[in-house]
Structure 1
């Protein structure tokens, strides 16, 4: 029988095609025929997945493969071995026995797929800080945007086209809250997507809602990132999400004075 493989391919960025589909199997091997001919082998099944897909064996709680790059491929199940034909059991007194050995059953596995997005730039920040607005201005991505927290509940990818024909991938990570590194507010589900981003851009609302403070919000998000996987501050950038012309200069100065890395600019 054929083998079953998973392979990371281009032009896929979600696992949505697997929703509702729970079984995959390669082609069975074919039976032998006359004149002592072997049956044809079954065709392999190659299942395409997005780069960044992790494949787990559910029964053993084991990571089988991290398909982190396009082209990586892993065999998940080995096809069964063909049995011996009746010719193998011929004797001097029975040249055409009516018995043939059945083939061995192929391997079976319970698999779990997990996708960690691969992006050049990951946008992080408090809920409703302006991440979705930024990615919608820079790319063709059209995330849901509204004036209330947790509008984005799934990561959104956008392709940013540059004038010199280069481009990069930007990811809008849903809003983080205190305790995200311990799973608060689906924090782990969101934080895992920043592991493979080359640069983290922290979108900071310098005039947050009543009862919230921009500087405290900055350090709160920074703390969650460091507690989760210790991201290096050197690849960390900050951007204000409001037009500074609408606020008094003292507010901008106060934020700059309290943040070690900050660059404010118009949205």
Structure 2
């Protein structure tokens, strides 16, 4: 990394640390969007990957998604980003990846070989209709001051998919996604977190690790490989 990039990274981390220690009013949790109702028995054997990211996440998602083969379980992504950017961000990733990457639409089926990015104006939820996984968008209030919220996506995965889901939490400021990842783990999911060395801001992964919600901590450059290895391994009982 050159000196200018290193300086930018240090400035972002300093700003994140200042915000995390600043007194701010409490925010709402995922209960304002959907109740926690983890699925004990998955409705089918279809695997899914759900990903949450914030500060530094646009580059982290590129690094995570570009090694993915064309045949891969569906991927649902909540990236904290203003709504005017999510569609073009998805299109850029789509041009770089072997999988299809698109902005999620309300009511569309979740298909293998595709990644769905939450639009910046809505929460993205995984729902189940007639034993098929579906994207649902919600304009319910912000959770952890974010819409889309990672906690909402992760809770919906615990509710709809149970142990079929695989969780990934990447670089980001704050704690969004930590509680949802814990709910996923309690539902039988296997979860990954990006390590501190490769994060721009370690806040979100750190909070998930502290809650005991994470099974593996990986360098970003190894994350895709580790997720693919887990998918190829025998299912846990």
TM-score range, shorter chain: 0.3 to 0.5
Structure having the higher helix fraction is 2
Q: TM-score, normalised by structure 1?
A: 0.31
> Which is bigger in relative contact order (C-alpha 8 A, separation at least 6)?
2
